[in-house]
Chains A and B, each alone.
Chain A
Amino acid sequence: MRIYITLDVMLAKRKVTSRDLARHVGITEQNLSLLKSGKVKGVRFATLEKICEFLNCQPGDILQYQENENRMVA
């Protein structure tokens, strides 16, 4: 997948623990861990909204699109 989640970076920047974020968003820590490691197929807008609200950031701060390596070389 070429969409990368940089949630852990944002958590470190804001000095927030995963437990607090999970509690605010209303998901389990296990699911938050899966989200951080990019092992999920999708993120609900509601989840994204609550994450942005808690971390005071934009969706673009936690989601990153990386172009294909071959294309980047060309």
Chain B
Amino acid sequence: MASKDRTRTICQVLYYLSILSLYLVPFLLAGVWFYADQLVAGNGLIPDSVIQHPLPVSTKCFMVLLMAVMISPAYWGLFSLHRFLAACCAEDYLTIQNSRYLKRFAFGLVGTAFLSPITGAILSVILTLHRPAGQKMLAINISSNQIIMVAIGGLLFVLANLIQRASLIAEENAQIV
């Protein structure tokens, strides 16, 4: 199989995966609502004993809302990635628009990585809000996941810039007969 065909095949697989992810994310939010208690119990930051079980509806609402806020940049980025991959499936790799899509995906990843500790901290406050004064908690968690997401986002941003430069060269090359 030629290298170009292989790239196209990989792009097609990733394209279908991105579509699947775009449909799955809203269900993930619904899952947060239904499995909120289990998610909170296994968070590893706040002891389960200080959390009120079953969670009140307001807390569940906040959880879903915070999760939506946290993943919204990644979701926006995923949408751009889906467009980027659609263009790649049509073997239209080197365009400035494609570099913009990839940059958006990179920004989406970095945005979610930065929002994650913030939403986590807010959630910890909400979960221990019912506790008496002095027992309320604020937990800030920065894990390797976020660091990896920022690193991948940065790498994709660099790649997007390279695609932009390459597309300019390709554009100029197309004007040579």
Contacts and interface: CB of A to CB of B under 8 A. Distances in A.
Interface of A: 27, 31-32, 34-35, 40-44, 47
Contacts of B172: 41
Listed residue (B172, B175, B176, B177) with the most chain A CB atoms within 10 angstroms of its CB: B177
Contacts of B176: 40-44
A44 B176 CA distance: 7
Interface residues of B, number: 4
Interface of B: 172, 175-177
Nearest to B171: A41
Contacts of A41: 172, 175-176
A21 B43 CA distance: 73
Nearest to A41: B175
A40 B176 CA distance: 6
Instruction: Please list the 6 inter-chain residue pairs (A to B) with the smallest Cβ-Cβ separation, ordered nearest first.
Output: A42-B176, A41-B175, A35-B177, A40-B177, A31-B177, A40-B175
A32 B175 CA distance: 12
16 contacts: A31-B177, A32-B177, A34-B177, A35-B177, A40-B175, A40-B176, A40-B177, A41-B172, A41-B175, A41-B176, A42-B175, A42-B177, A43-B176, A43-B177, A44-B177, A47-B177
B71 to A, nearest CB: 45
Contacts of B177: 27, 31-32, 34-35, 40, 42-44, 47
A30 B176 CA distance: 13
B57 to A, nearest CB: 65
A23 B105 CA distance: 44
B175 to A, nearest CB: 4
Given A42-B175, A42-B177, 13 more contacts: A31-B177, A32-B177, A34-B177, A40-B175, A40-B177, A41-B175, A41-B176, A42-B176, A43-B176, A43-B177, A44-B176, A44-B177, A47-B177
Nearest to A47: B177
A57 B176 CA distance: 21
